[in-house]
Structure 1
Amino acid sequence: MDSVPFSCDAFGGFGEIQGILRLDADGLLLQYQTRDAVLGVLRTGMKTTLVPLDTLVAAQYRAGFLWLSPRIEIRVSDLTAVADIPSTEGGRLRLKVAFSDRGDARKLAHMLGGRLAEQRLDRLQGELDKMSVARSTGTSPYSSQAAPQPAASSASRPRPSESEQ
């Protein structure tokens, strides 16, 4: 599976996007062309959009009604990553996939989900490393200042002996 062809509605149903979706080392690569849905004559030039992995929140494969209308749903955390795509609704892309390409679409969504999980795990590991280093040095992991040390209480101070009084 190298790429998955997709289509989706654009401009409130007056346009249609046709393109391919490919998982790249840097993120999710969409190459697409927009055409009018009425006559299918007017077409835009080929456009390419790279959605970085760090802006992706989720990618899911949906089989659709009676498993006959498969699609890939993608959610992003930053709208600027998908600002050029005219069918984005609130950070969501719903990409229709042909019935014959549903196996490749499922594999791509699964691979993308795995990469997102690895990225979250790496981010968590980095946070844990920061916290453990900060704890061993006595500093706060979220600020550049040292954490205040608690003052010694009167119970932990040695009491002067009777001979010293």
Structure 2
Amino acid sequence: MAARLPSWAWVTGLTAGATAAVIVLAVQADHAPHPTAATAKPSASASASTHPTAKPKAPAEPVLPDESGSGRRIVYSLGEKRVWLVDATGKPSRTFTVWPGTVNPRPGRYSITLRTQSLKGSDGVEIEHIMYFTKAEGVNIAFSNALDGASPPPANGMKLGGIRLHKEDGAALWSFGDQGTRVTVVS
């Protein structure tokens, strides 16, 4: 009678055979020609949404108004609600937006007449870096920023001459302008 093989021998034999078959197939596949994927160009709509061809342009720096004078000065544009800090060569070193009060100064040339480190504004907000430069309608006109960096609340019919700045812009203006620094206000 023939001897019967134990089951572990069958399993070992089948596993070895399968492993050998996989190795043979892998070697054949490595030496065979490799298929290449079709290189289709994406459609215009696909390339526009996933691979933009042009980078978006950064917004252009606001241009210093022509009628703003010359030399080192602070320029305040009523229409643009913007301030420029202009160095001695006539080039703006910084520009930023502001929140004007309810009373505006007239266009013209002024200078900083008084600087106050901090106080409570006429609207009840704690402010700092106050730089006065004129009066209009009996109201002092000055640049300042809120201590907490907040924008001014609605005026509710009050006459306010504060031109509020963002906190970091207030600090920059304070460093730039001393008493006597020229201020040009344009339309």
Q: What is the TM-score of this pair, normalised by structure 1? A: 0.27
Structure number with the bigger relative contact order (C-alpha 8 A, sep ≥ 6) is 2
Give the structure with the higher percent helix: 1
Q: TM-score, normalised by structure 2?
A: 0.25
Question: Larger C-alpha radius of gyration, 1 or 2?
Answer: 2
